[in-house]
Amino acid sequence: MTRKAIVLANWKMHGNLTLLQNMSERLNRIITPSNLDVIICPSFPYLMSAKQMLMHDNIVLGAQNMSEFKAGAYTGEVSADMLKELAVKYVVLGHSERRSLYHETNSLVALKVETALNAQLTPIFCIGEREEDRTSGQTEAFLSAQIQAVIDKIGIEKFNDVVIAYEPLWAIGTGKTASPELAQETHRFIRAFLAELDTDIARKIPIIYGGSVNANNCEKLFQQPDIDGGLIGGASLNVDEFERICLTIKG
Ligand code: PGA
């Protein structure tokens, strides 16, 4: 069975219309395997333009965050239905920057995952341990707790429509990527953890790696049997580099 392959551009609070235009022109021309989704996640104000500029069937839109509420008096928030209206297919939830800088807890992330699924958006559910968790041998316990919080909220069956992004915090934006072996070992653990509840879901769920992925290190990461793609931050802001990453992944 081949799982869906995913390359996701997380622009964070970077980029502008010029980057969007240049990226779209380049990506609209690339040839990708049919089971690859390239997901472009610009900031909210650019989603409408991105919808108009991206023409490729396999290049889809994602959002970087979303409200846990359906609608209401929540100044400054963006709802799942609004994203749907702009043809957004995926939404990044529980990114470590949201967890650490905006105090998003496991239970809030679980609620957002539920809200996204209710709106037929595919959550890119992010998990990852801190450096001290890894050095103290707590990586598996830490990741299990993050996953379990969402299982408790939505049930394991709903993971049929979820993508997991594993991003060790010590690798995000640091240039210090996890070795392909270490990333593979952790991805295998995540799959095994899910398999205890549902082997079919564990086999099918895409698990992508994030943290200082670039055009030079992506090939070995993507070759690992349990790594189904990448969540790319810094390197997704460079058109040449991001194109190379998209062309490296095999469907
Ligand atoms: P990075 O960011 O590729 O710059 O490390 C990854 C991310 O978006 O979390």
Within 10 angstroms of residue 192's Cβ, the number of other Cβ atoms is 13
Ligand 1 atom 3 nearest Cα: 233
The pLDDT tens digits for 28-48 are 999 889 999 999 999 999 999
Ligand 1, residue 95: give the atom nearest the CA: 9
pLDDT value of residue 228: 98
The closest alpha carbon to 6, from 206, 239, 242, 245, belongs to 206
Token pair for residue 24? 């779209």
Task: Report how far ligand 1's centroid is from the alpha carbon of 212 (Å).
Answer: 6
Task: Measure 73 CA to ligand 1 centroid, in angstroms.
Answer: 32
Query: pLDDT per residue over 182-222, tens digit each?
Result: 999 999 999 999 999 999 999 999 999 999 999 999 999 99
Q: 174-191, pLDDT tens digit by residue?
A: 999 999 999 999 999 999
Which residue, judged by its Cα, is nearest atom 6 of ligand 1? Answer: 233
| Per-residue pLDDT at 156 exceeds 70 | yes
Displacement of CA 66 from its chain's centroid (Å): 14
- 21 C-alpha vs ligand 1 centroid, how far in Å? 22
Residue 250 has pLDDT above 90, yes or no: no
In this prediction, residue 197 carries a pLDDT of: 98
Report H helices in 155-238. 180-195, 199-204, 218-222
From the number of C-beta atoms within 10 Å of its C-beta (0-12, 13-18, 19+), residue 18 rates as exposed
Note the pLDDT of residue 1: 55
**C-beta of residue 159 within 8 angstroms of C-beta of residue 194:** yes
Q: pLDDT (tens digit, 9 = 90+) per residue, 65-96? A: 999 999 999 999 999 999 999 999 999 999 99
Give the pLDDT mean for 224-241. 98
β-pairing, 88-93 with 122-127? Answer: parallel
* Position in ligand 1 atom list of the atom nearest CA 174: 5
- Provide the mean pLDDT of the chain: 97
- Write out pLDDT tens, residues 96-142: 999 999 999 999 999 999 999 999 999 999 999 999 999 999 999 99
Residue 251: per-residue pLDDT: 73
- List all residues whose CB is within 6 A of at least one atom of ligand 1: 10, 167, 172-173, 210-213, 231-235
Number of H helices and number of E strands within the chain? Answer: 11, 8
Kindly give the number of the ligand 1 atom that is closest to the alpha carbon of 173. Answer: 5
4-20: average pLDDT: 98
Catalytic residues: 95, 167
Note the pLDDT of residue 79: 98
Q: How far apart are CA 245 and CA 230, in angstroms?
A: 9
Cα(246) to ligand 1 centroid in Å equals 16
